[in-house]
Amino acid sequence: MGYFKKTLTGITWMGGLRGTTRAIAFLKIIILARILSPSEFGLFGIASLILAFLEIFTETGINAFLIQEKSNIEKFVNTAWVISIVRGILISLLLLLSANFLTIFFDAPESKNLIYLIAVIPFLRGFINPSIVKFQKDLTFNKEFYYKTLSFVIDSGVAIWLAVTIKSASALVFGMIAGVIVELFISYLWIKPIPRLSFELDKLKLVLSRGKWITLWGILDYFYQHGDDIVVGKLLGTYSLGLYQTAYRVAILPVSEGGEIFNKVTFPVYVKIREDGDRLKRVFIKILITVAIFVIPFGLVLVLFPDWFVNTVLGIKWIEIVPVLPFLAIYAVLRAILGTSQSLFLALKKQKYVVYTLLVALAGMAIFIVPLVNNYGILGAGISALLGWLLAIPVIIYFIKKVFKG
C-alpha cells in the first residue's frame, strides 16, 4: 500500500476519532451552555488557561522525539516516563502555588478552588505510559481510536452528569479528571512495554536537546491561541471570557479539527518518506488540497449564518457572540489549511520553522489586540487573532518553498 493510501486509511480512523469526540464535545458545549452561565465558563476558562500554560511551558517534546526516531523507541521509554512524572508533579505544585496570584490578577476569587482541583490532572497525566505514541508511530490509528474515544466519552459523560447535578464549573474539571484516569489505566492494559522508574543521562540529554524547539514552539503557540483569552479575561472579566471562549470553541471545533486530523496522521508518514523529496512533495500537495476541500464548507456555515447557528444551537443568551463568529471561522479555515505544513516541518526536523511562523503570528496579534479589545470587546479579540495569522501566511509559504527548494 502506498503512503498516500496509508495516510488516507489513517485519516479515516483519525477522522472517525476526531469526528466522534468532537461531536461529543460539541454536544457537551450545547448542553452545558444551557445549564451553566457564561460566568461559570469564564471561571473554568481561568483554571484551564493556567493549566495549559504550565503544560506548554514545561513541554519536553518527548512524543515528537519518539515519533521522529526511526530506531526502536523501547530504549527511551523508561527515561521518557521519568521525565513525564517529574514534569506532572512540577506542574501540579506550580498550580497550587499560583492560585492566589491568579485570582487577584483576574479579579475572580471564585476560581481558586477550581485551580486547586485542576492541579490533579497534570499529576495523573505524568504517569501515563509513554509507549502510547506507538499508535501513531506504527500507524495503528484504529487502536488510538478506541483508546481516545473511551476516555473522551467518560470525560463528557461525567461533566454533563455533574453539571446537571451541581450546576457548577467544577463539573468540567471532574470530567477531565475522569477522562485522564481512563487514559492512565488503558495505557498500561493495552500497550507494551510497561516503563520502569529508571533513566539514562545520555538519553535524557538527547530528548531535552531535541525537544527545545518543541518547547519554544509550544510556548509561542499557547500565547497565540490563548493570549486573546488572557487579554479578554483581564480587561473585560469572566463573563466576556466565557462568551469569547465559547465562540472560539464552536468556531474552531468543526473547522480546525479537520486540519488536526491530517497533521496527526501525516507526521509519522512524512517521517517514513522524508528522504524521497519528490514523493514527499506530491503527498504534501495532495494533503493540502484535501484539507482545503474538507474544512472550507464548515467555515462557510459560520461566516454566512452566524445568527441562525447561535440561536439554533446555543440559545438566545449567547447572542452576543454572533459578530465575532465569522472572523474566528475564517481564522480557523486558514490555519487548518496552511497548518498542514506543521507536520511536514516536524518530520523534517525543522521545528524552528514552526517557531518562526508562530513568532510572526504572535507579534502581529500582540500589536493589535489591546486597542481592538478596548474598542470592540470580544469582536476585537477575534479580529486580532485573524490579523496575526494573516501576517504569518507569507512566512509559511516561504518555508514550504525552502523545504522543496522552490
- What tens digit of pLDDT does each residue of 123-163 get? 998 888 877 766 555 555 566 666 777 888 888 889 889 98
Q: Is the backbone of residue 78 left (phi > 0), alpha (psi -120 to 50) or beta?
A: alpha
User: Which tens digit of pLDDT belongs to each residue from 104-120?
Assistant: 888 888 888 899 999 99
CA–CA gap between residue 219 and residue 170 (Å, rounded): 26
CA–CA gap between residue 216 and residue 213 (Å, rounded): 5
- Under DSSP, the state recorded for 313 is I
CB 92 within 8 A of CB 119: yes
Q: Is the backbone of residue 365 left (phi > 0), alpha (psi -120 to 50) or beta?
A: alpha
**Domain range holding 137?**
3-403
User: Which tens digit of pLDDT belongs to each residue from 23-74?
Assistant: 777 677 778 877 888 888 888 888 888 887 777 665 555 555 555 555 566 6
* Band (336; pLDDT cuts 50, 70, 90): confident
* Band (339; pLDDT cuts 50, 70, 90): confident
CA–CA gap between residue 349 and residue 309 (Å, rounded): 41
Chain center to CA of 104: 27
How far CA 211 is from CA of 74, 214, 215, 346, in Å, comes to 18, 5, 6, 11
Nearest residue to 21 (alpha-carbon basis) of 169, 222, 182: 182
Better-scored residue on pLDDT, 85 or 134: 85
C-alpha grid cell for residue 368?
A: 493589535
DSSP string, 243-287: HHHHHHHHHHHHHHHHHHHHHHHHHHHHHHHTT-HHHHHHHHHHH
CA–CA gap between residue 336 and residue 113 (Å, rounded): 35
Helix (H, G, I), strand (E, B) or coil at 385: helix
End-to-end Cα, the chain, rounded Å: 29
User: Which tens digit of pLDDT belongs to each residue from 223-271?
Assistant: 777 788 889 988 988 889 889 988 888 887 666 555 566 666 666 677 7
CB 251 within 8 A of CB 332: yes
C-alpha grid cell for residue 131?
A: 509507549
CB 279 within 8 A of CB 286: no
Give the largest Cα separation in the chain, rounded: 59
- For 4-33, b where at least 16 C-beta lie within 10 A, e where not — what string? bebbbebbebbbebbeebbebbbebbeebb
CB 175 within 8 A of CB 156: yes
Q: For residue 157, what are the contacts with CB-CB under 8 A and spacing of at least 6?
A: 175
Tally the C-alpha atoms within 13 A of residue 74's C-alpha that lie toward its C-beta.
5
What's the total number of domains in the chain?
Answer: 1
